[in-house]
Amino acid sequence: MSIDRIGVVGGGQMGGGIAEVAARTGVDVVVREADAALASAARSRVEKSLARAVERGKLAEDERDAALSRLSYTTSVGDFDGCGLIVEAIPEDLAAKEEVFRALDGVAGPDAVLATNTSSIPIMRIALATGRPESVVGLHFFNPVPVMELVEVIPSLATSEETVARAVGFAEALGKRVVRAPDRAGFIVNALLVPFLLDAVRMYEAGHATAEDIDTGLRYGANHPMGPLALCDLIGNDTMLGVADAMHAETHLPHHAAPQLLRRMVEAGRLGRKAGRGFYDY
């Protein structure tokens, strides 16, 4: 059964990207934001991204118009009726995610897949906020969503195979490559990527090298598309800190512990690209 209407909770960097990709693929999308101002800002970001795709010759004007006509915005999860899949993409705060999933449990149809784009919180823990943990699954997209091909599908111990199959089918219909990842700290990609990025922050914090030299080293010495500190700025240093804290709380491994500098930068509002300042100025 194909999924032709979805709900997205949170229209930020990740939720907006998921909404855009789904609308471009022909799926009707309802995005829920906390209030009207945030909903309007979320819509503008997707409009801008679609306009850029048209400018770069990647999208025809009529395709942009069709994608925009499939996108609607709301402040109420009550508008998710008829959604075959609802994906939560709010910040990494377990209590906030539990509140969202309790609300979704009350409004989603009995066959709906309830997905979370969490980077680091165990899917099992989020699923327990609902009375239907078999329908809850991790659907982890990568930033920027329109560009990055991968989606991790993460079943918890309670997720049914039918839910997994529907989540995989949905991600593949969006043109993504899917890997099935375990419900363990960092799943597959962040379990490897985040310790590496944190080590780059530690190297910079220790005065071992400049940010530019660390990034140039990895770009031209290891062919990474961007250096690790620039990537922290792209992901968002607040997101990086949230992921590191969640991984460290699970594993207590020293290489999952957030460097103090990362915490101080978040406290100072140096969140990366979205804030205009992080390891670099934008």
Q: Which member of 26, 91, 146, 217 binds ligand 3HC (CB under 6 A)?
A: 146
91 binds ligand 3HC (CB under 6 A): no
Q: Choose between 146 and 182: whose C-beta lies nearer to ligand 3HC.
A: 146
Catalytically annotated residue among 33, 117, 140, 156 = 140
Tokens for 100, please give them: 């969202």
Number of residues that bind ligand 3HC (CB under 6 A): 17
Catalytically annotated residue among 20, 33, 92, 152 = 152
229 binds ligand 3HC (CB under 6 A): no
- Concerning whether 140 is annotated as a catalytic residue, the answer is yes
Least distance (Å) from ligand 3HC to the CB of residue 227?
A: 9
The closest alpha carbon to 100, from 34, 184, 153, 163, belongs to 34
Catalytically annotated residue among 190, 237, 248, 256 = 190
CA–CA gap between residue 133 and residue 89 (Å, rounded): 18
Least distance (Å) from ligand 3HC to the CB of residue 241?
A: 11
Q: CA of 75: how far to CAs of 18, 39, 97, 103, 201, in Å? A: 18, 7, 16, 13, 37
Report cis status (omega within 30 of 0) of the bond before 144. yes
CA–CA gap between residue 22 and residue 47 (Å, rounded): 14
Query: What is the rounded (10 degree) CA torsion for 15, 240, 271, 230?
Result: -100
CA–CA gap between residue 163 and residue 267 (Å, rounded): 39
DSSP summary character for residue 239: H
Stretch that binds ligand 3HC, among 106-114, 140-148, 199-207, 253-261 (CB under 6 A): 140-148
Q: Choose between 24 and 32: whose C-beta lies nearer to ligand 3HC.
A: 24
Least distance (Å) from ligand 3HC to the CB of residue 121?
A: 11
- Concerning whether 119 is annotated as a catalytic residue, the answer is yes
Q: In what order do the strands lie in the sheet with 136-141?
A: 71-74, 28-32, 5-9, 85-88, 113-116, 136-141, 150-155, 177-180
Residues making up the chain, counted from first to last: 282
Binding string to ligand 3HC for residues 26 to 65, with x set by CB under 6 A, is what? -----------------------x------x---------
268 binds ligand 3HC (CB under 6 A): no
Q: Choose between 110 and 225: whose C-beta lies nearer to ligand 3HC.
A: 225
217: Cβ contacts below 8 Å, ≥ 6 apart: 209, 227
CA–CA gap between residue 8 and residue 22 (Å, rounded): 10
116 binds ligand 3HC (CB under 6 A): no
Q: Which member of 130, 156, 163, 239 binds ligand 3HC (CB under 6 A)?
A: 239
Q: Which member of 96, 165, 226, 249 binds ligand 3HC (CB under 6 A)?
A: 226
Report 59-78 residues binding ligand 3HC (CB under 6 A). none
Residues of the shown chain interacting with ligand 3HC in the complex, contacts defined by CB under 6 A: 49, 56, 119, 142-144, 146-148, 190, 193, 225-226, 231, 235, 239, 243
Residues with catalytic roles: 119, 140, 152, 190
